[in-house]
Amino acid sequence: MRFDELDLEAEILDGLEDMNFREMTPVQEQTIPIILEGRDIIGCAQTGTGKTAAYTLPLLNKLLIEGNDDNVVKSVIIVPTRELAQQIDQQFQGFSYYLPVSTTVVYGGGDGKGWDVQKRGMLMGSDVVIATPGRMIAHLQNSGIDLSHVEYLILDEADRMLDMGFSDDIMRIVSFMPKERQTILFSATLPPKIRTLAKTILRNPAEVNIAISKPNEAIDQSAYICYESQKIGIIRELFAEPSGSKTIIFSSSKLKVKELAHTLKRMKLNVAAMHSDLEQVQRE
């Protein structure tokens, strides 16, 4: 199905044309018409299926039609990480090129200037606020942010947010919003805790499940059963010969990350460590 078959405003279709968006993905085809109808929805879809556009486009369409004469925060998108917030904002910028729609991205890790920019954007009545839970709570406590006019709430990667311990923060943010709103929840999985959350904050939602893709058959998956003291030896063996490709290694603690980086450097490998002891600028 093509985007121009949807009941979208001309300005949005022009933006889609400029970005070479023509054919919808399955998640977009199944969810956009439901969202345009104004129904709450639970969408089960993995990253890479086009779910951001699935809620971005109908939201922009509604904001364009309704306007924001009172300069209030009309929609809030809650996401687990600053990186995802930035990605969503970039997509908004592309889709809304021809639209008078404003966005504010709210996340931690920056300096006082970033805080002031976020506060000013929300107080001036940004059409779309894209926020991580902890930072939004901080602004609600200290910046006098008003969410009483929010008409659209979107929770993206909801299962990941609950895994990160943001359940109470989400409920607290929702408590500042009117009950009469449209709520959209996207999650890669639908475990019982997600369904409990959905029952609490959604009203008679439609449910869309996109089949989860199989792992790439070209990828070898293997496990080494070993003692802690044997891990470094295995790593040395794995990297004894040049691989010609990039590698990401995850470890359970920043201490182990540092030790591993030291070991690999002694093997004359080009290695960089990333952990919470680094400043945000260093991580980026």
Provide the pLDDT for residue 220. 82
Q: HSE (CB half, 13 Å, CA atoms) of 182?
A: 19
Provide the pLDDT for residue 245. 83
CA distance 81 to 108: 9
Helix (H, G, I), strand (E, B) or coil at 128: strand
Question: Is CATH 3.40.50.300 what the domain over 3-209 is classified as, yes or no?
Answer: yes
Task: Calculate the CA dihedral of residues 138, 144, 150, 154 and round it to 10 degrees.
Answer: -10
Kindly report the number of other CB atoms within 10 A of residue 125's CB atom.
18
Whether 210 contacts 27, CB under 8 Å = yes
Whether 193 contacts 213, CB under 8 Å = no
* Averaged pLDDT in 10-residue chunks for the chain of 284 residues: 90 89 92 95 86 94 92 96 93 88 90 89 95 96 95 95 94 96 93 91 93 68 92 89 85 91 90 87 78
Provide the pLDDT for residue 153. 98
Among candidate residues 59, 107, 48, 103, the one with its CA nearest the CA of residue 83: 107
Provide the pLDDT for residue 280. 74
Provide the pLDDT for residue 234. 92
Provide the pLDDT for residue 120. 95
Show me where the domains of the chain are located: 3-209, 228-283
Helix (H, G, I), strand (E, B) or coil at 23: strand
